[in-house]
Structures are given as C-alpha cells and as structure tokens.
Amino acid sequence: MNDQEKITSNQLMAIMLSTIIGIGILTLPRTVTEAAGPDGWMLVLAGGVVAIILSVVISRLGLMFPGKTVVEYSGDIITKPLGFIFSLGFFTYYVLFCAFEARVFAEVTKQFLLDRTPSEAIIITMLLGAAYLARQDIATVGRVGEMLVPVFILPSILFLLPGIPEMDLTNLLPFMRTSPGKLLTGFGTIVTSYLGFEALLLFQPFMARPRDAAKAMTVALSAIILIYVLAVVTAVAMFGVVEIQQLIWPTFSVYRVIEIPGAFIENIHGVVMALWVVAVYTTLAVFFFAAVTILGRILALKEYSFTALPLALLIYFLALVPNNVSQVYNYLDAFSLYLGIPFGFVLPAVLYIIARVRGMGKEGGNGREKQAKKSG
Amino acid sequence: MKSKLKRAVSLVLAAGVMLSTAGCWDRIEINERIFVLGLAIDKFEPGKDVQAGEDGAEQQEEGSKQPEESPRNRLVVSIVFPNVGLLKGEGAIVSEDAKFAVSTVGPNIFEAVRQFNTRLNGNIFFGHVKAILLGEALVKDEELLMEVLDGLEREQEISRNVDVAVVKGKAKDALFIKPLVEPIVGTYIEKIFRQRKTGRFYPKNFGKVVTSIRETGGAVLPRLVVGEKEYNIAGGCLVKDRKFRAWLGELEVRAIQWLENMAGEDVISVNVNGVSVPFELTELKRRKEIWRDDAGDVNLHIILECEGNIEGYILAVDQDLMNEAFIQQVERAVEREMVAQCTGVMDKFQNEFQLDVWGIGNHIRKFRPEIWEDVKDNWQEAFTELSVDISACVKVRRVGVIK
C-alpha cells in the first residue's frame, strides 16, 4: 500500500459521511417509529453512540497492527484459515451491500423519478460509475468524498426550512414513554443504519496519521447522528407517528410536502432526489472500493483494479435477484441482521478482545508510541 | 503529437459515450404533456349520468354513447386540463377554450386514466393537480371511498398538498362549468382554498385528510356546491367509519375550526342593545387543559383567546364605540356567541357522531400520557363521556376609523 497515496483525517470524515448516509436514511424515520413511537429519535442517538464506541475499538485494533488492514491482521489474530474465512465473509458482506444499495436505488428512482427507465439501465449506469471510482486509489475516493459531501448535505437541510410551518413538534410527545423492552428490540434494527463505519478496518492503514482515526470517526459519526435525528424529527413532526408508519420512504415524502413559495420549481423533491443520487453513489463507490480492496488483498494481488468490472457484473446480477420491493426490504433486513451486525459490531469487538488477550496489544502499543515520536 | 491524437480520441470517445448513454426513457417534451389541474371522481350510477354540464357536453361521454351498467363500470373519473396552446398564444390552430374537461367510466381510477390515453393525444400528468373532488355518492360508498383514497395516496405524482372537497351531487359537473372569474377549474378551487378569509369551510389538504382518517377514524372535508357559473365552498362533509356520516353547516364547520386553533378571519355578528354588531375575528389561540377530578372522570377545558375588531355599529351622534364599557359589552356578547356555537358542535360530536375529530385523544396521549394509559383502549367511549367546558376570552382591539 506504500505506493498508494494517503488520506487525511478530513478525507476519512468525508468518506464516512458519504458512505454511511445512503439508502438507510430514506426508511429510517419509519423503522424507528415502528420500533419506538415518538421516542424513536433517542434510539437513533443511542445507535450512533454504539457505532462511535465500535469505531474507537476498530481504530485501536488498527493501531495494534500499523500498516496492515483487517485482511492481514485477522490472520495474525485468529490464525490464518479463520482469518481467511473472516476476510471472505467480509468481502461477501460488501458485495451484497453494494447489490442492495444498487437495487434500492433503482427502486426508489423508478418510483419517484424515472418510471419508464428500466431498472437494469439505472443499476448499470450506477455500477459503472461506482466501478470507475473503485478502480482508483484511496486518495481519490477521499477527495471525491470531500467534494460531494457538502453538495448533498447542505441543500437537503436548507430545503427543510420552508417546511417548518407544516411541522408539529408535539408529535414527538410523550417523551420517554416507550417500554424499555420495546426500545431494546428496536435498537437492533436501528444500529444497522450506521453500517459503513466498519470500513475503517480497511481504511485506517491508508491514513497519513492513523492515530487520528478515532477522533475523525467520532466527529463524522456525530454529524451523522445529527443528520439522522433531524431526518426522524422532521418526518415525525410532519406526519405524526401514525401516518409515518404508512410511508415506505418518509424522508422523501417530507420533501413531497414542502413547497417553496413563489419559486419557479414548486416541488423540490426532484432536486432532493438528485442530491440523494449523489449520496447513494458515494456509498456504493466506497463499498465497491472496499470489496475490490479486500479481494485484492485476499488474493495478494499487486495490482487489483482489474477486478472491479467483473465484480460489477456479479453485483448487477445479485441486485436483480429480489422479485419486488417488499422482497428487497425483507432481504435487506435479513442481511443487516445476519451479516451487518456480525461484521459491523460483533466481529471487530471479538477480534479486539482476542488480540488483547493474546497480548498483541503491547507490541501494537509500542509501535504506536514509536510512530507518535516519529511524527511528533 | 501523439498526446494530441490521444486527447482527440479520448474527447471523441467521451462525447460518444455521453451522447449514447444520456438517452433517457423518461424524456417527455413539456408540450406533449397534459397537465391535469382538477380530478373529479364519482361513483358510477347507471341511468343517472345522462345530464351533463352545459358547455362541452359533446366532448365528454365515453365515445358519445351512454355507458352501460356492468360490474366493470364502478367509477366516473373526470379530469380538467388547461389549453396550453392558447395560454402560450399560438393563435389560430388551437381551440378557443381555455380548458378541456373529459370524463370516462372505469373500474378504478387507474384504468379510467388509461381510457383517457385512448382519447387524448398527450401524456397525462398528475404532478400539478390542484384539486381533487369527490362526488357525494362516492363518499357514501364505503368500499369505493377507501379504494379511491388509497389509490390517490399511493400515486406518487399526486402531491399530498392537493386540496380535497366533497361535491354535493356529482363531482364531474364541477369540472364542466365555465367559472365566471377564473376559467381553469383546478386553480380556481385552489385559490378559494388559499384565501383564508372565512371559516365557513375547513380547508384540509389530501395528506391531512388521510392522516385524520387514520388517526381519529374520521375527517371533516369541505363541501362544494356547483352553481351555474361559480362554486360555493362552504360547510363540510363528515366522513366517519370509512364513509359519509353527515353534512355539516357552515357555522358548525367554523366552530370546529375554532376548537382546533385555526380559522379564517371571519365575522361574528352579535346583538348588542338591539343592534347587530359585526365583529371581525383576526386572531385565535386555543388552549386545552385536561385533568382528572376527584371522581376519576376526565375533564377537558378549552379556552379560546381571541382578538379582533368591531366592523360597524349604527350611525348616530350620541352613541360611540370609543367607550370601554360598550366595548366590553361587545366582547362578552361575542364570547357568549362563540361558546354557544362551540358547545353545540362539541355536543354533537360527542353524542351524535361519537367522533373525536379534533384529535383530543392525541393531545391526551402527548401531554397527559398517564391519563391516556387508562382511556386508550376505549377512547371512543371515553370521548363521549368526557366532561367538556368551553370558555372564550375576546379582546376588541380596533373599531375602525370613526368614533
């Protein structure tokens, strides 16, 4: 990886913001309200805190093995064969994630924007664009992230302002009346909306200063928590806890209601839709990049960008597997539960604990100090 | 040299890729679109469809023959769209009508719209629908009404902000008249809705109506009466238990809005010293207090805080309005009037309709969750047993420009 350029911690933040915000934010207000009624936004907050904790754990793990990605050090920690299985699973996870990202993108775009364009065409163009970025090195991905994050975040928030008169914040009441048991069961589904942060397992060694990863992750995830809470609060305030559960993509429906008074374009949902395309693109491209990187490293290839196009083909066919929108979301739920939670939350923590127990931390700790002196 | 060639080749390639991939399946030229501004949906009633709107009668019925009775014919769907050519000033070729209205019969809205595709030369687009009108017979049919509401909400082109009204009689007729002031029916209705100078109808957009039906089990929709060259939107149509329940009078609808904290700047006339005094209501704030008395019954106290102006009295020298005692007299009279109207409506909804149209249950759930725990399982019954006390506090601010 020495021939690759390094990324700054700002670029890591941008990558994380653009990666984690993707298809999940569209359904988030509905899923949290189904889980916890008016207290849903607190679940979002709690889920984000867990994601921050896990990303700090991952960054510690990365610091123990400077210069290595999870593909290499998982072999060191849990023996080579198990590490290989882990990496393969991790690879599958990203490939499937790409497929879901592409499919949901196609479903939503067809529903709201291009109802006569074939899904295949939507998916292919998106995948080709993502494959192009996935062939580049990490620094390019970082720069694209830096460029695109403000493009989709700032206008989306600004466009909410004309909708304020339509919102009734009392819809968030009563406060803290959901039973703890209900909150806990809902929690499992909410944390998966933060998936994407675990890409740090791969990206940390590419950082110019890997020590800064934890800080950058905390800042990025905090921003995402704010954006998610904003999405949930505006949607609940606009539709109320009953109606919101009927809307498949409440975050878009919010923009369907908002009208900019006197503006040439009365309905802004088309614009917001276009911004969201950017958000999905960055998510898809980063996951694609992660899949290509893992594959290259499993196969120990020197130059692995050529795997991007065949992978695009694989993702394309996977994306077309579900029959209908309901099946897409059923599969996505299963995917989040059986792959998302293990690879995002459980396995990194397990790896960290095993590494600590096996005493690998000390070596890493020394390395960290040496590095600190060098850079200091 | 070589790099120049390379650059040229890549430029050509890039242009080629862009040109070939930028083809868009969804491209529709704006003048190929039919911008539907008003959508009217009626229940198909065989034999009753003979009469039609005065103008444009020839261009409406499906193929000019009377649709026959068949299980497939369930709905009459009518649309109205502007003559874009005329508005653009393309003169001679286009027809002189400012708008076109067409109507067809079908088993559901969507199939009916496809019927239009066999008759109209454009791409029917619902993104700019300004008003949805539901016919009386449709609203009285439980199954059809819920079908229609679901279809309209599910369709992404139709905005949730679109205005809805129930037409007394046939909704179709509303689209075929030539209104006096504004030729295009959809915008005409929208403008009536937007002015907010009266409380005599309850403007609710489509999203609010379906939300209300889901949350409270019912909704009050504005009532529209079709005249010769104009409409009258006044009063309301109460939908409860998934279908029509009752027509509501204009004053009742106004009182419902007072109790919901929103009403247009309407005029309330009260009798003071034998003279009818018009009081213009400019501001209204509604507070709700809920508590449980010693017997355990739930009490609701609604306080209306109003502000407004006296608009007129009687031309005289000895009596002027710059008199605080007199102003207070007017204030008390308005208070009595408002409370009487509100109490009447509240009583009707508690006892006759048994419908919590204001979302009082929601209010209790939000602000008094401990009370809600006890009543939520049989809220409808608890609502009817609620002891409600309504009071008003009216302040006259101005009296016009003469004493």
Q: Is B261 on the interface with A (CB under 8 A)?
A: no
Q: Could B366 and A170 be called an inter-chain contact, meaning their C-beta atoms sit closer than 8 Å?
A: yes
Q: Which stretches of chain A are DSSP H helices? A: 9-20, 24-36, 40-64, 70-78, 80-112, 119-134, 138-158, 180-191, 200-203, 213-243, 250-257, 269-298, 308-319, 325-335, 341, 347-357, 360-375
Average pLDDT over residues A35-51: 89
Instruction: Identify the closest residue of chain B to A39 by CA–CA distance.
Output: B366
Is the pLDDT score of B145 beyond 70?
yes
Is residue A321 a contact partner of residue A121, using CB atoms and an 8 Å limit? no
Are B154 and B107 within one domain? yes
Q: Is B26 on the interface with A (CB under 8 A)?
A: yes
Are B99 and B228 within one domain? yes
Using CA atoms, how far apart are residues B19 and A208, in angstroms rounded to an integer?
40
Are B302 and B222 within one domain? no
Are B228 and B266 within one domain? no
Are B241 and B260 within one domain? no
Q: Is A321 on the interface with B (CB under 8 A)?
A: no
Question: B-chain residues within 8 Å CB-CB of A174?
Answer: 365-367, 369, 372
Question: A-chain residues within 8 Å CB-CB of B156?
Answer: 111-112, 256
Task: Break chain A into its structural domains and give their ranges.
Answer: 9-342
Instruction: Identify the band that residue A371 occupies on the pLDDT scale cut at 50, 70 and 90.
Output: very low
- If residue B237 lies in a helix (H) or strand (E), which one and from where to where? strand B231-240
Is residue A136 a contact partner of residue A303, using CB atoms and an 8 Å limit? no
Question: B-chain residues within 8 Å CB-CB of A170?
Answer: 366-367
**Which of A116, A173, A242 is nearest residue B215 as measured by Cβ atoms?**
A242
In a domain, B18, yes or no: no
Which ipTM was obtained for this model?
0.79
Mutate to test the interface with A, among B125, B157, B161 (most CBs of A within 10 A): B161
Average pLDDT over residues A19-46: 89
Top-tier CATH class for A9-342 = mainly alpha
Q: What sign does the CA torsion over B365, B368, B374, B378 have?
A: negative
AA letter at B166 = V
Are B237 and B261 within one domain? no
Q: How many A/B residue pairs have CB atoms within 8 Å?
A: 53
Beta carbons within 8 Å of A46's beta carbon, 6+ residues apart = A187, A190
pLDDT at residue number B201: 84
In a domain, B268, yes or no: yes
Q: Could A116 and B207 be called an inter-chain contact, meaning their C-beta atoms sit closer than 8 Å?
A: no
Are B185 and B121 within one domain? yes
pLDDT at residue number A229: 93
Question: A-chain residues within 8 Å CB-CB of B161?
Answer: 257, 259
CA A111 to chain centre: 23
In a domain, B1, yes or no: no
**Which of B156, B210, B369 is nearest residue A177 as measured by Cβ atoms?**
B369
Q: Could A267 and B159 be called an inter-chain contact, meaning their C-beta atoms sit closer than 8 Å?
A: yes
End position of a domain, from candidates B200, B217, B248: B248
Is the pLDDT score of B58 beyond 60?
no
User: What percentage of chain B carries pLDDT values higher than 70?
Assistant: 88
The model's pLDDT over B185-222, given as tens digits with 9 standing for 90+, comes to 778 888 888 877 777 888 888 888 898 888 888 888 88
User: Which SS3 state, helix, strand or coil, does residue A125 take?
Assistant: helix
AA letter at B175 = L
- CATH value at residue B341: 3.30.300.210
Question: A-chain residues within 8 Å CB-CB of B214?
Answer: 242-243, 246
Instruction: Identify the band that residue B96 occupies on the pLDDT scale cut at 50, 70 and 90.
Output: low
Are B372 and B342 within one domain? yes
Using CA atoms, how far apart are residues A137 and A3, in angstroms rounded to an integer?
10
Ramachandran sector of residue A196 (left: φ over 0; alpha: ψ -120 to 50; beta: rest):
left
AA letter at B45 = E
Are B276 and B387 within one domain? yes
Using CA atoms, how far apart are residues A218 and B269, in angstroms rounded to an integer?
63
Q: Phi, psi (5° rounding) for residue B35?
A: -85, 100
**Which of B211, B365, B372 is nearest residue A239 as measured by Cβ atoms?**
B211
Are B243 and B260 within one domain? no
Q: Is B293 on the interface with A (CB under 8 A)?
A: no
Q: How far apart are the first and last CA of chain A?
A: 23
Q: How far apart are the first and last CA of chain B?
A: 93
Is the pLDDT score of B146 beyond 80?
yes
The model's pLDDT over A157-185, given as tens digits with 9 standing for 90+, comes to 888 888 888 888 888 888 877 778 888 88
Is residue A108 a contact partner of residue A26, using CB atoms and an 8 Å limit? yes
Q: Rg for chain A (alpha carbons), in Å?
A: 21
Using CA atoms, how far apart are residues A282 and A269, in angstroms rounded to an integer?
20
pLDDT at residue number B315: 76
Q: Could B214 and A246 be called an inter-chain contact, meaning their C-beta atoms sit closer than 8 Å?
A: yes
Average pLDDT over residues B45-67: 48
End position of a domain, from candidates B230, B248, B266: B248
The model's pLDDT over B300-317, given as tens digits with 9 standing for 90+, comes to 898 988 888 888 877 776
Q: Could A118 and B25 be called an inter-chain contact, meaning their C-beta atoms sit closer than 8 Å?
A: yes
Q: Is B146 on the interface with A (CB under 8 A)?
A: no
Is the pLDDT score of A102 beyond 90?
yes
Q: Is A310 on the interface with B (CB under 8 A)?
A: no
Provide the domain count of chain B.
Answer: 2
In the sheet where B163-167 sits, what is the strand order? B99-106, B75-82, B38-43, B131-135, B163-167, B218-226, B231-240, B243-248
Q: Which two tokens stand for residue B74?
A: 């369930």
Is the pLDDT score of A115 beyond 90?
no
Q: Rg for chain B (alpha carbons), in Å?
A: 27
The model's pLDDT over B217-275, given as tens digits with 9 standing for 90+, comes to 888 888 888 888 888 888 888 888 888 888 888 888 888 888 887 766 788 888 888 88
In a domain, B365, yes or no: yes
End position of a domain, from candidates B248, B270, B300: B248
Mode of pairing for the β-strands spanning B163-167 and B131-135: parallel
In a domain, B304, yes or no: yes
Other CB atoms within 10 Å distance of the CB of residue A303 = 8
Q: Could A257 and B160 be called an inter-chain contact, meaning their C-beta atoms sit closer than 8 Å?
A: yes
Question: B-chain residues within 8 Å CB-CB of A116?
Answer: 25-26
In a domain, B119, yes or no: yes
Using CA atoms, how far apart are residues A344 and B308, in angstroms rounded to an integer?
61
Chain B closest CA to A158's CA: distance in Å?
A: 20
Average pLDDT over residues A244-252: 90
Mode of pairing for the β-strands spanning B33-35 and B123-125: parallel
Are B359 and B261 within one domain? yes
* Token pair 């299980």: residue: B71
Are B324 and B190 within one domain? no
Domain of B281, in residue numbers: 256-398
Using CA atoms, how far apart are residues A35 and A33, in angstroms rounded to an integer?
5
Q: Is A326 on the interface with B (CB under 8 A)?
A: no
Q: Cis bond leading into A174, ω under 30°?
A: yes
